[in-house]
Chains A and B, each alone.
Chain A
Amino acid sequence: MTAPLVEMRHIHKRFGDVVALEDVHFELQAGEIHGLLGGNGAGKTTLMNILYGLYTADRGEIHVRGQRVLIHSPRDALHLGIGMVHQHFLQVAPFTVVENIALGTLPRLGGKKHVRAAADRIQALAQQFGLAVDPHAVVEDLPVGVRQRVEILKALYRGADVLILDEPTTNLTPQEVDALFQSLRAMVAQGLSVIFITHKIREVMAVCDRVTVLREGRNVFTRSRAETREEDLVRGMVGEQLDVQHSFLFSGRPQETEHTAGAPLIQVHDLTVLGDNNVPAVQGCTFTVREGEILGIAGVAGNGQTELAEALMGIRPIAQGEVTINGYRVRVGSTRHLLARDVAYIPEDRLEDGYLPAASVAHNLILGYHRRPPYSRGSFLDWPAVFQAAWRLIKEYNIRTAGPTEIAANLSGGNIQRLMLARAFAHPFRVLIAHNPTRGLDIPSTEFVYRKLLEARARGAAILLISEDLDELLLLCDRIGTLYRGQLMGILDRPAFDKYRIGEMMAGVAATQA
């Protein structure tokens, strides 16, 4: 084996009391796609942020091309040929592609000529790696998949030959994922090297040459894909906590027992909802969710999912159309009546919408249900009952906290998510509207949520599951509708599920059959 291109040795990193990385090793060979696999909080992104100079390690060494290096900033990293594409793009939305890519590299004078030269170089790079993009398009008009190509081109334009991609398939359609993988193959074929951060085993198996698995800030193993089975990766990611044989997540939804959907519990007719800019974010949507049914809503983030969920919960005004949930006609301000009628809600933005940072964990666990027994009797809260319930929920949902009186601001993202789930699932809901319910959860917790959703379905609840994770929808749903620019492009029944068809619909191609 030749000397590695990049080698990270004995990397340690703490954030306050939290150990993010402990004695982690990582090496990248020239010309390979190296998967960095792990659940949430495994330390993947932290490790790569250290390589890219966004953090410095508390201890440990980095060697690039055989030289020991100190990387203090992304500028240092770029000098060494290391570029990174983050999950959230840093782009100037009203600028063109060229302007974004060449930002900070163009000389101040003689603009036009240099812009033309830059555009030519971008074209050349785009062609070389199959990253089709119009250099003169305005970035804010582009779909997420293309904006990602812009971000990759930006790194390449600045001379990166080691490319770090952080969860690059989030929010891509299956078609765009295939195209991305082809581009990555083209890059390594031409001598570049790629580090591919992901939590999806399938992606590792699809595109990586080697894989390093991290768990809780430690190395689990590094192997070539050829000698790795999916099951090894699962075990590597979750340890022995999960019974892989009996997991929905890895073996699929259990076979149907006799199942017929019952009465309609969510009825949406010709719904139009305005976004924050007063432009319709949801337009003319019509659908029904019945008892014992999970309807999924697929789509790239920002296509009206949030507005749809908020209108259904009475948080955002309905501009046009009708929404009836559990027999109740929804208007803006209906939220408390819906919650009282056994309608549960898991909002997308847990930090803004989902929790009370300045209040205790117990306060948080009863939010929205505080007017119900056992939490209150009449006008008075029953704190002993609340605390009893809180302890039970903390244990059942594995919320890591000192106890019900701890201030919720101390909780980590995954724990806030678990807290929101505990709050929603603590009551046997008839209707659930859940938006990205498993975001930020580790695998056992995700599995737990899936189990809860399927249990609720089995007892006759109607569930609207809005998710950006297509695999999650394919696994759980009875039907899947796809939102594109606020419009429902069609709803497919389970037998007709096809990742690529949904991908087309996510990109705006309407379903041919209704």
Chain B
Amino acid sequence: MVVTQASPPRLSRWLMAALPYVAAVVISFLAAGVFIAVMGFNVLRAYETILFTSFRTPNGFIQTLLKFVPLTLQALAFTVPLAAGKFNIGGEGQMIVGAIGATAVGILFAGAPGVLLLPSVLLASVLAGALWAAIPGWLLYRFGINEILSTVLMNFVSFQLINYVATEIWPDPAAGHPTTVPIGEGALLPLLIRRPPLHLGFLLTIVVAVLVYIYVTRTVYGYELVATGANPRAAQVYGIPVQVLSVLALVLGGAMAGLAGGVEVAGIHRRLIEGLQSNYLTLGILAGLIAKGRVVAVPFVAFFLSVLEVGASAMQRTMMIPGEMVIIVEAFIVLFILLSEVIRRR
């Protein structure tokens, strides 16, 4: 057989790769605009609020970066297992348990100096998240139980756990909502910028994202992860311990989701508050899907989604348009990107 078509030159191939993304974003905004218009709001002002709130004031920008931190970590918690072909839908529970671990250390050793306490708090969140993911990992390894199911179910267990910790073990009686007493002063993340406050977690997230990128694309372990995700059977035939790697990938994901919990406690809330996980799991999965599992793209997509999120709450405040509108936009983006994949395959 003869292949007749030559491969197109490099630049146009890049454009072809970018095209579906640009198109997906534009079409999604247009579609959401229809909804907004039908509800009787000013579409252009809504667009403007969504896209530019993050960049108009220092406060808006810092808000965006603070969203970016847990969102990126959650996106990586989803993407790294995905590279090995495993779906971690348990980021929410792993984040909660990470937050619990951080809080426990932060309260129990409240008097310890910051040099010791802060690293211990963060380490506790990482370990707790990893442990929470290791349970589904072990079930997968030992009994072949589907990780999608088990990671989701572990989320529900974590809801009870946080409730118990915040109402029974270290409850703050003054708070009207399940909340613990504050963690020690030494456990708090130092600020990079004082006003508006931006904590060190931002830098930490960038470092984690870079390390993950190096791990996945530059090391032999990352190669084995990718090979496992690309075809587990062939990876096994060529000597890669795929079962161990699947578990490892889930545990790594759990560690990062756990860190997200620890950073929220040590950087924002200074205590454990029920509901601190917000909707970061959903956003993280969306970010991972939009990035099509490429770790290099994850922080950028996460930043873009953070901008939309901050814009959404501003839109809700100032224009009374439901902030969920932005979730619709995000969902459309994912759908159109998946659709473009189908079209390309035709």
Q: Decide yes or no whether A509 CB sits under 8 A from chain B.
A: no
Q: A315-B236, A335-B238, A381-B220 are in contact. Are A355 and B1 (CB under 8 A)?
A: no
- CA distance in complex: A337, B233 (Å): 18
- Per the 8 Å Cβ criterion, residues 233-278 of B in contact with A are 233-241
Q: Decide yes or no whether B333 CB sits under 8 A from chain A.
A: no
- Which chain B residue shows the least CB distance to A313? B237
Partner of B230, one of A313, A357, A366, A381: A357
Q: Decide yes or no whether B92 CB sits under 8 A from chain A.
A: no
Residues from chain A with a CB closer than 8 A to the CB of B230 are: 356-359, 363
User: What is B's interface to A at a CB cutoff of 8 Å?
Assistant: 1-5, 7, 218-221, 223-224, 226-227, 229-231, 233-241
Tell me the minimal C-beta distance from B16 to chain A in angstroms: 13
Partner of A356, one of B3, B221, B235: B235
Residues from chain B with a CB closer than 8 A to the CB of A41 are: 1
- CA distance in complex: A337, B239 (Å): 8
Residues from chain A with a CB closer than 8 A to the CB of B2 are: 18-19, 216-217
- The reply to whether B5 and A359 form a contact with Cβ atoms under 8 Å apart is no
Residues from chain A with a CB closer than 8 A to the CB of B233 are: 352-353
- The reply to whether A356 and B234 form a contact with Cβ atoms under 8 Å apart is yes
- The reply to whether B221 and A367 form a contact with Cβ atoms under 8 Å apart is no
Q: Decide yes or no whether A400 CB sits under 8 A from chain B.
A: yes
- CA distance in complex: A363, B5 (Å): 24
- The reply to whether B238 and A367 form a contact with Cβ atoms under 8 Å apart is yes
Q: Decide yes or no whether A376 CB sits under 8 A from chain B.
A: yes
- Per the 8 Å Cβ criterion, residues 8-26 of A in contact with B are 17-20
- The reply to whether B220 and A338 form a contact with Cβ atoms under 8 Å apart is no
Partner of A338, one of B219, B226, B227, B239: B239
- The reply to whether B234 and A355 form a contact with Cβ atoms under 8 Å apart is yes
Supply 27 A–B pairs (Cβ within 8 Å), ascending by A.
A41-B1, A216-B1, A217-B1, A313-B237, A315-B237, A333-B241, A335-B238, A336-B240, A336-B241, A338-B239, A339-B239, A352-B234, A355-B231, A356-B230, A356-B234, A356-B235, A359-B231, A363-B223, A363-B226, A366-B223, A367-B227, A368-B238, A370-B227, A379-B219, A379-B220, A380-B220, A412-B1
- The reply to whether A376 and B239 form a contact with Cβ atoms under 8 Å apart is no
- Which chain A residue shows the least CB distance to B239? A336
Residues from chain B with a CB closer than 8 A to the CB of A337 are: 239
- The reply to whether B235 and A367 form a contact with Cβ atoms under 8 Å apart is yes
Q: Decide yes or no whether A503 CB sits under 8 A from chain B.
A: no
Residues from chain B with a CB closer than 8 A to the CB of A352 are: 231, 233-234
- CA distance in complex: A400, B233 (Å): 24
Residues from chain B with a CB closer than 8 A to the CB of A19 are: 1-2, 4
Type the 1/0 row for A488-500, where 1 means its CB is closer than 8 Å to any CB of B. Answer: 0000000000000
Q: Decide yes or no whether A31 CB sits under 8 A from chain B.
A: no
- CA distance in complex: A371, B241 (Å): 13
- CA distance in complex: A357, B227 (Å): 10
Partner of A353, one of B218, B221, B229, B237: B237
Q: A356-B234, A367-B238 are in contact. Are A376 and B226 (CB under 8 A)?
A: no
- CA distance in complex: A20, B3 (Å): 10
Residue from B2, B229, B240 with most neighbouring chain A CB atoms (10 Å): B2
Given A17-B4, A355-B231; 7 other pairs, CB 8 A cutoff: A43-B1, A336-B239, A357-B230, A367-B234, A370-B224, A376-B220, A381-B223
**Chain A interface, number of residues (Cβ within 8 angstroms):** 41
- Which chain B residue shows the least CB distance to A408? B230
- The reply to whether A20 and B1 form a contact with Cβ atoms under 8 Å apart is yes
- Which chain A residue shows the least CB distance to B215? A379
Residues from chain B with a CB closer than 8 A to the CB of A359 are: 226-227, 230-231
Tell me the minimal C-beta distance from A268 to chain B in angstroms: 19
Kindly list the 3 A-B residue pairs having the minimum CB-CB distance in the complex, ordered from nearest.
A336-B239, A368-B238, A356-B230
Residues from chain A with a CB closer than 8 A to the CB of B5 are: 17
- CA distance in complex: A359, B7 (Å): 18
Type the 1/0 row for A327-352, where 1 means its CB is closer than 8 Å to any CB of B. Answer: 00000010111110000010100001
- The reply to whether A368 and B3 form a contact with Cβ atoms under 8 Å apart is no
- The reply to whether A370 and B220 form a contact with Cβ atoms under 8 Å apart is yes
- CA distance in complex: A335, B219 (Å): 20
Tell me the minimal C-beta distance from A354 to chain B in angstroms: 6
Residues from chain B with a CB closer than 8 A to the CB of A376 are: 220
Q: Decide yes or no whether A402 CB sits under 8 A from chain B.
A: yes
- The reply to whether A353 and B3 form a contact with Cβ atoms under 8 Å apart is no
- CA distance in complex: A512, B221 (Å): 52
Type the 1/0 row for A181-219, where 1 means its CB is closer than 8 Å to any CB of B. Answer: 000000000000000000000000000000000001100
Residues from chain B with a CB closer than 8 A to the CB of A338 are: 239
Partner of A357, one of B1, B3, B231, B239: B231
Type the 1/0 row for A372-402, where 1 means its CB is closer than 8 Å to any CB of B. Answer: 0000100111010000000000000000101
- The reply to whether A363 and B239 form a contact with Cβ atoms under 8 Å apart is no
- Which chain A residue shows the least CB distance to B231? A356
Residues from chain B with a CB closer than 8 A to the CB of A363 are: 223, 226-227, 230
- Which chain B residue shows the least CB distance to A347? B237
Residues from chain A with a CB closer than 8 A to the CB of B237 are: 313, 315, 335, 345, 347, 353-354
- CA distance in complex: A75, B66 (Å): 67
- CA distance in complex: A335, B241 (Å): 9
Residues from chain B with a CB closer than 8 A to the CB of A315 are: 236-237
Partner of A354, one of B1, B220, B221, B234: B234
Residues from chain A with a CB closer than 8 A to the CB of B218 are: 380-381, 383
- CA distance in complex: A207, B206 (Å): 72
- The reply to whether B3 and A17 form a contact with Cβ atoms under 8 Å apart is yes
- CA distance in complex: A45, B214 (Å): 47
- CA distance in complex: A261, B3 (Å): 45
Residue from B219, B233, B239, B241 with most neighbouring chain A CB atoms (10 Å): B239
- CA distance in complex: A296, B219 (Å): 39
- Which chain B residue shows the least CB distance to A334? B239
Residues from chain B with a CB closer than 8 A to the CB of A379 are: 219-221
Residues from chain A with a CB closer than 8 A to the CB of B224 are: 370
Residues from chain A with a CB closer than 8 A to the CB of B240 are: 336, 368
- CA distance in complex: A352, B236 (Å): 11
- Which chain A residue shows the least CB distance to B13? A402
- CA distance in complex: A357, B230 (Å): 6
Residues from chain A with a CB closer than 8 A to the CB of B235 are: 356, 367
Tell me the minimal C-beta distance from B174 to chain A in angstroms: 51
Residue from B3, B220, B235, B240 with most neighbouring chain A CB atoms (10 Å): B220
- CA distance in complex: A217, B237 (Å): 35
- CA distance in complex: A276, B273 (Å): 52
Residues from chain A with a CB closer than 8 A to the CB of B236 are: 315, 335
- Which chain B residue shows the least CB distance to A414? B1
Residue from A20, A345, A380 with most neighbouring chain B CB atoms (10 Å): A380
- CA distance in complex: A216, B3 (Å): 11
- Which chain B residue shows the least CB distance to A314? B239
- The reply to whether B219 and A358 form a contact with Cβ atoms under 8 Å apart is no
- CA distance in complex: A344, B240 (Å): 15
- CA distance in complex: A358, B2 (Å): 24
- CA distance in complex: A363, B228 (Å): 12
Residues from chain B with a CB closer than 8 A to the CB of A18 are: 1-4
- The reply to whether B3 and A358 form a contact with Cβ atoms under 8 Å apart is no
Residues from chain B with a CB closer than 8 A to the CB of A313 are: 237
Residues from chain A with a CB closer than 8 A to the CB of B1 are: 18-20, 41, 43, 216-217, 412
Residues from chain B with a CB closer than 8 A to the CB of A358 are: 229-231
